[in-house]
Structure 1
Amino acid sequence: MLSIEAHGLTKEFKVYQSRPGLTGAFRDLFSRQYRIIRAVDSINLEISEGEMVGYIGENGAGKSTTIKMLTGILQPTAGQLKVNGFDPHREREKFVKTIGVVFGQRSQLWWDIAVQESFRLLQKVYQIPADQYKKHLDRMIEVLDIGSLLDQPVRKLSLGQRMRCELAASLIHRPSLLFLDEPTIGLDVLVKENIRQFLKEINREFGTTILLTTHDLSDIEALCSRVVMLDQGKIIYDGSLTQLRTMWGGNKKVHLEMEQEVMLIDLEARTDGLGVSWEKRGPRQYTAHLRNGETTVSEVLSRLVQHVPIQEMQIEEASTEEIVRKIYSEGMTVA
């Protein structure tokens, strides 16, 4: 079953365009010119229940506009959209009870009251039965380690403490779909890892569908097996991270340190026909350059291990961040 189903989803904005110079400014007082900007351009997106999907793109690519349509904040200009079986804009009152939202730079907690009071207010808003509320909240308090924060006003929390409380607040009504927009922005490594582990746990335990938008691609690598890439309002890639690396990761490098010096000609002979070129970096250090898609590391090693004394090995490949940067900087078409 699909949590998100969008076909031809489009959003256009009418933007005021000023004329240059003093004369132009005077004319604008009486007649204004406008242009149409298409922020999201006829995208098709299907996300199944229980999936964890990364939604990425440069600033201005249309990510935030898409999220606002998916959460019912904006009404699409054109296209069909169903989220959890609802039209997010027209059936908003019923729909919002099925989703949770965390925006890294905005708070859904009340700034001047204790965290637990914010939780109680949300309980009333979502009309959650007391026994169900307590059981679920106790579980989140334990996993997120926020028990010591409940009596503190939100304004006194650090960013990492507040984000853990924000996550608890977004999940207090057990939504089946969670939208995360930059959930780990500005957090230290340990807090990031705790939040990632929590998200994995709720996905595994409750089957919560998660759509994650972020500029920190380490979040995507840690949580998502599927990534959707947006550019100028269009989806340019929708698939697995593994496939993205295979298609656009470039050549892998295998750095080897031998127990004794080996002739390059011997290494080339052992790996003949595999699409490998060799480089000597030191007395016993060698690098195998694997041409993309022609061979694998295991195939190369299987040719070497019985005949060449390998002491240490390191595999070097492009990170997801490097691949995405390359795609955007070179204007590649991925899909």
Structure 2
Amino acid sequence: MVEGFIELAGVEKVFDVHRRKGFLRRERCRVRAVDDISFSVPRGEMVGYIGPNGAGKSTTIKMLTGILTPSAGRLRVAGIDPSRDRTKLAHRIGVVFGQRTSLWWDLPLRDSYKLVRRMYRIPDVRYRANMERCVDLLDLGALLDVPVRQLSLGQRMRGDIAAALLHDPEVLYLDEPTIGLDVVSKAKVREFLREVNARQGTTVLLTTHDLTDIEQLCKRVMVIDHGRLVYDGGLSGLHAVGESERTLVVDLERELPPIEDVPGARTVKVEGPRQWLAFATGASAAPIVAAVAERYPLVDLSVREPDIEDVIAKMYAEGRTAPR
């Protein structure tokens, strides 16, 4: 394994779970959440870590932060064993869990940041500079005096990301950072992450179900399923392995027979005047859109990206998982 800033070698995590068996009896089962995972992430790289629900993504992040201890294997972040020296590591990492906040619910956003400053003992000059940068890039100026409980999900998420970066962490773990956000909020979060990675060289490990996050932010993607790493490489390679397809949704002026004369696309569904055309993920949508617009009475159209769970499901169903 290549030496990296984040290193996992043969890492496993097994949980003991008690399940009811009959009316009064319970039996203990062993659930393998992470199964012999090995990978290395160089300093400054932004990597997508994706997979279906229950695949082991969050468990991996929790081991990387020291919240959970591996059952087997070797794990290091910046040369530190997270489970053995969690306090030391905490000053070098930032964590954002999309489904829960690290902010204080009843305090204004500004006061939450002041508490973060005291917790990490951030020097005044660095704190003011980081606050100014985060507030500007994440558009938080009007929200600083608003209690966290009154913030929308998108506003709170931007606030959480700022809190995770106030102490200049070397590594940023993002677990579903754009979940439930609107298009504008997602764009702001993505632009901010690009800025942080480019200007400060922050290493970013991003878990998400939104494939657009990965496409816009990451050159490298790792896929985990049933606790095992099944792919590690470029996004184009993942689509090639899974033979994924994008979908062009076409709204016509009236109901017509399925569209069949557009090169590179095939109609997969028809409902009244709406038709769905599938085409290869690596292909450009422009010539397909132009052909449809030229030959058919078009009202509206949109392009839908493939769902990562569908890509992985197809990989498994047809036995095309990439070598580890």
Classify the TM-score, shorter chain: 0.7 to 0.9
Shift of 1:17: 3.2
Shift of 1:19: 2.1
Identity between Structure 1 and Structure 2 (%) = 48
Unaligned runs of 5+ in 1: 254-280, 290-295, 302-310
Q: 2:312 aligns with which of 310, 315, 324?
A: 324
Q: How many residues end up aligned between the 2 structures?
A: 284
CA distance in 2, matches of 1:210, 1:130: 26
Q: Does 1:64 align with 2:58?
A: yes
Q: 1:129 aligns with which of 111, 116, 123?
A: 123
Larger Rg: 1
Q: Give the secondary structure class of the aligned counterpart of 1:287.
A: coil
* Counterpart residue type for residue 52 of structure 2: E
Shift of 1:207: 0.6
1:308 maps to which residue? none
CA distance in 1, matches of 2:89, 2:60: 17
Shift of 1:64: 1.3
* Counterpart residue type for residue 326 of structure 1: K
The change in CA–CA distance for 1:297 and 1:69 in structure 2 (over 3 A counts) is closer
CA distance in 2, matches of 1:288, 1:75: 49
The change in CA–CA distance for 1:313 and 1:84 in structure 2 (over 3 A counts) is farther
* Counterpart residue type for residue 12 of structure 2: T
1:4 maps to which residue? 6
CA distance in 2, matches of 1:158, 1:12: 36
* Counterpart residue type for residue 237 of structure 1: Y
Q: Does 1:194 align with 2:188?
A: yes
Alignment of 1:1-335 (within 5 A): 2-20=4-22, 22=23, 25=24, 28=25, 33-249=27-243, 286-288=262-264, 312=290, 319=306, 321=308, 322-328=310-316, 330=318, 332-335=320-323
CA distance in 2, matches of 1:109, 1:318: 33
Is the CA contact 1:113–1:153 (under 8 Å) kept in the aligned structure 2? yes
Is the CA contact 1:251–1:317 (under 8 Å) kept in the aligned structure 2? no
Is the CA contact 2:43–2:203 (under 8 Å) kept in the aligned structure 1? yes
Tell me which moved more, 65-74 or 316-325. 316-325
CA distance in 1, matches of 2:100, 2:244: 38
Is the CA contact 2:93–2:169 (under 8 Å) kept in the aligned structure 1? yes
CA distance in 2, matches of 1:76, 1:334: 25
Shift of 1:184: 0.8
CA distance in 1, matches of 2:246, 2:148: 47
1:276 maps to which residue? none
Is the CA contact 1:3–1:177 (under 8 Å) kept in the aligned structure 2? no
Is the CA contact 1:115–1:165 (under 8 Å) kept in the aligned structure 2? yes
CA distance in 2, matches of 1:312, 1:185: 33
Q: Give the secondary structure class of the aligned counterpart of 2:223.
A: strand
Shift of 1:52: 1.1
Shift of 1:36: 1.5
Q: Give the secondary structure class of the aligned counterpart of 1:2.
A: coil
1:274-307: CA deviations, max 9, x gaps? Answer: xxxxxxx68xx54157xxxxxx979xx9xxxxxx
Give the alignment's TM-score, normalised by structure 1: 0.77
Unaligned runs of 5+ in 2: 248-258, 266-281, 293-302
Q: Give the secondary structure class of the aligned counterpart of 2:91.
A: helix
* Counterpart residue type for residue 91 of structure 1: D
CA distance in 2, matches of 1:252, 1:94: 45
Give the alignment's TM-score, normalised by structure 2: 0.80
1:260 maps to which residue? none
1:177-230: CA deviations, max 9, x gaps? Answer: 101111111111111011101100100000111111111222111211111111
Is the CA contact 2:5–2:41 (under 8 Å) kept in the aligned structure 1? yes
Is the CA contact 1:249–1:317 (under 8 Å) kept in the aligned structure 2? no
Shift of 1:151: 1.0
Shift of 1:35: 2.1
